[in-house]
Amino acid sequence: MNRDHESARTPQDQTEQVELQTAATQPAQGEQQTQPAHGEQPKQPMQPAATFNGAPLTAAPGATIAAALIGSGRQSWRTTRGGAARGLFCGIGVCFDCIVTIDGESGQRACMIPLANGMTITSADA
């Protein structure tokens, strides 16, 4: 390991490095601070609450509807015309296996839409 590079630094260089690192961790003017100040409790984003076929459904903030459904123990949430169970398959919006009805709008992909507060979600075949 070559230590010549590190030993060539002057104490002033090291002070400037610390100042640069400190500036990089401080929020810019007008930017919201995301880390709580020392001694403060971290602010938790609100957990969205919705319903699925009338039952309460919650998930971590930012989770998709499919993640919320999987997290609530459901492995499938609709059936095909032939009666086959369908739920999460591709998880990237390609297969349409996960479709649900959200606030009356049918054909919505549960894997692509974050769960939001107040959503009324029903299975596509409900």
What is the nearest approach in angstroms of ligand FES to the Cβ of residue 64?
9
Q: Interface with ligand FES includes 89 (CB under 6 A)? A: yes
Unique residue bearing structure tokens 């054909």: 107
Nearer to ligand FES, 111 or 119 (CB): 111
Give the residue with the Cβ less far from ligand FES, 98 or 119: 98
Phi then psi for residue 113, to 5 deg, are -115, 125
Going from the C-alpha of 85 to that of each of 40, 42, 64, 111, 122, the distances in angstroms are 47, 41, 20, 16, 15
CB of 78 to ligand FES, least distance (A): 11
From CA 124, how far away is CA 30, in angstroms rounded? Answer: 44
Q: Does residue 63 interact with ligand FES by CB under 6 A?
A: no
Q: What are the residues binding ligand FES (CB under 6 A)?
A: 88-91, 93-98, 109, 111
